[in-house]
Structure 1
């Protein structure tokens, strides 16, 4: 049975945490200060510590840093939270960081997920489900709590949020926290697949069903059997295909292109859109009946500008990951920290990650806040730049230069690029496909929130 040491000078908090831990299968010891904690450590080494950062007789982080407990995990707690303290806690190897008053539901999930590997559990823990969802803001806590509620059910989920807010990671967290976790998780970007191929990609096709179909193709629905199918940018799907999808959701069966044989669809659907669903319905890009079938449990992902508490946590997370991969020790300068905190991040987490990546490449040891290649000084993002083209350049080439330059200035965020150019997202995808530039902006940021 795993052992937990709670170190906090508030008896009421200790009592509640100890009760929760006991119900989760932990043995529990309690200490009100560092002196008592040392005594408890001498009696039994804990598998996990819940440690207050400010204790009557010293600093919790310094106390932890002085200990040599490589097999013990630590979660810091504090009633005096700040961005700096959160970053410091994570740098000290903390697996999580809790602000007081602590969210008891989150504590319960955390404790359930922290049971040591000696239990030999092969399934992902609750903590593993949210390992890539970085943040302590109220919006992030609420999102994780809702995911935890809906994941064990079979309800379809509709994720609504701006481009770059981490909808795929939220969908994957739903999958990992569900009974389907051992089966495939299949993400599909409906806007990135040619309209002529998307039906075949989703449902598969038989050999000879159309020109070029020289062999049988197994679609995403079959490949995701027993698991979760994530349909991103659902409004980019044609209306005819939306009808077929609705039928699959209602009947639980589908057919490959070129056959009348029905195949059972044991798949949970999680869909996503970066558009306002009501507006999409009014504009005719989303069927009303499909919307109500998908949004059994709608979840909204907040843009980064509404998650100010998470901006520096995310920036530091990306930087430390790069430091680890490259065996470096680069840091942000005060000017860079100020610029990051004050910028509006219209491209959300994807834009932030791209900025950290670019800055990391350009910096020697200290990342400054004055990079002219990627300025952070206006809410709209980037600095105004002109494109100089010679007289007589073909219009198609001029369009290409304008689109690619705007995409670069927008940090690779396609939705923002389309808005600035005054074209639809589908038109932008078609142009990028022509230019062979469909993947360059998003592949680096798909797996981390």
Structure 2
């Protein structure tokens, strides 16, 4: 973590664009926020956009805004992320989920600082520092045609890799104590870890990285009267599935094929860290088909035909 802190401290006072990469849940957005807080823009806006949580048809309007009546449903003028972040920082999470045609438009804004709202002719001028993040290897993404090389070189002025939590053993106790101190302050309590908790945390492999660590400690905090027992905080589903490989799912017989398909799509989406492009590739379907399926499941949730938890993977992705 000390190496990561040094990199943040070096780049924060500058105006350089930053590209952060690492597995989902490693804390890439936390790094972006730290860069902003330690930089000249600390009192300026910090706007975050998850490129993987927005359909390709809407991402341009989210980035650049739109005029009233510019498309169906545009009932009023909307300021986009660049306009709202003017003078500050724009954090683009899951950058590789951005369509290539949008990457061209993003590149132009990075080069000129100018753009038009959707449906407008007048150009707007902004000064925005862009910090982007991805859970892919950026150079491999360029080689695979998922990211334009010119955009990569424009963003990767200062690349930062956030290591997996299991490769940062010295950070586990530090982060765990920080999370527990935070909840103790918020709730006015003085709970502590059990004597075995730190050993357990160092032995566990943390596939969900910092996000999983934080969630597990929060669960242990809720369950505890005084001492947190991390081993008891493992979710029931993980306790039941300990003998099943992590890349397998189970499904009871006697259910409809559509239910199995839905289960497989959500399981693969989770396996791919919320990356929809990779999920579509693994499943052997087009990205459009994947979006159609997720939108269909979401509509059924609102109609009451599916349990609400099925909706969670369809609208959110991890950093």
Shorter chain as normaliser: what TM range? Answer: 0.7 to 0.9
Q: Contact 1:192–1:429 (CA<8 Å) still a contact in 2? A: no
Which residue of the partner structure matches residue 252 of structure 2? 389
| Contact kept in structure 2, 1:158 and 1:295, CA below 8 Å | yes
Residues 248-397 of structure 1 aligned to structure 2 (within 5 Å): 248-371=109-232, 373-374=234-235, 384=244, 387-391=250-254, 393-397=255-259
The 3-state SS of whatever aligns with 2:91 is strand
Q: Report what 1:437 is aligned to.
A: 312
Unaligned runs of 5+ in 1: 1-139
Which runs of structure 2 are paired with 1:147-186 in the superposition (5 Å)? Answer: 147-186=8-47
CA distance, structure 2, for counterparts of residue 429 and residue 329 of structure 1: 46
Offset of residue 281 of structure 1: 1.2
The structure where helix makes up a greater share of residues is 2
Cα deviation per residue 1:5-49 (whole Å; 9 max; x = unaligned)?
Answer: xxxxxxxxxxxxxxxxxxxxxxxxxxxxxxxxxxxxxxxxxxxxx
Change (3 A) 1:291 1:280: same
Q: How do residues 2-401 of structure 1 correspond to structure 2 at under 5 angstroms?
A: 140-371=1-232, 373-374=234-235, 384=244, 387-391=250-254, 393-401=255-263
Q: Normalising by structure 1, what TM-score?
A: 0.59
Q: Deviations over 1:106-150 (max 9, x none)?
A: xxxxxxxxxxxxxxxxxxxxxxxxxxxxxxxxxx22222222222
- Residues 271 and 382 of structure 1, relative CA distance in 2, 3 Å threshold: farther
Q: Give how far 1:361 is off.
A: 2.5
- In 2, the alpha carbon distance for the partners of 1:360 and 1:316 equals 12
Q: CA deviation at 1:299?
A: 1.2
Distance 1:230 1:370 in 2: 35
Q: Does structure 1 retain, via aligned residues, the 8 Å contact 2:52–2:94? A: yes
Q: State the alpha-carbon separation in 1 of the partners of residues 191 and 268 from structure 2.
A: 30
What is the TM-score with the length of structure 2 in the denominator?
0.81
CA spacing shift, 1:348–1:382, aligned 2, 3 Å: farther
Structure showing greater radius of gyration is 1
Partner Cα separation in structure 1 for residue 69 and residue 291 of structure 2? 28
The answer to whether the Cα contact below 8 Å between 2:192 and 2:228 also exists between their aligned partners in 1 is yes
Residue number in structure 1 paired with 2:308: none
Compute the displacement of 1:430 (Å).
6.9
Contact 1:351/1:413, CA 8 A, preserved across alignment: no
RMSD, aligned α-carbons: 3.3
Q: Report if the CA contact (8 A) 1:203-1:222 is conserved.
A: yes
Of 274, 288, 291 in structure 2, the residue corresponding to residue 414 of structure 1 is: 274
Query: 1:239 Cα deviation (Å)?
Result: 0.4
Tell me how far apart the structure 1 counterparts of residues 237 and 168 of structure 2 sit (CA, whole Å): 18
Which one is further off, 185-194 or 310-319? Answer: 310-319
Cα deviation for residue 329 of structure 1 reads 3.4
Instruction: Name the structure 2 match of 1:108.
Output: none
Shift of 1:286: 0.6
Change beyond 3 A, Cα 1:383–1:323: farther
1:147-191 CA-partner distances (Å, limit 9, x unpaired):
222222221111111111111111112112222222101011111
Change over 3 Å in CA distance of 1:441–1:282 after alignment to 2: closer
Distance 1:348 1:431, change over 3 A: farther
**Cα distance in 2 between the residues matched to 1:326 and 1:441:** 28
Per the alignment, residue 306 of structure 2 pairs with none
Contact 2:46 2:89 in 1 (8 A): yes
Deviation at 1:205, TM superposition (A): 0.8
Structure 1 residue 287: Cα displacement: 0.7
Assess, with a 3 A threshold, how the Cα gap between structure 1 residues 406 and 289 changes in structure 2: closer, same or farther: closer
Unaligned 5+ runs, structure 2: 299-310
Higher relative contact order (CA 8 A, sep 6+): 2
Cα distance change on mapping 1:152 and 1:284 into 2, 3 Å: same
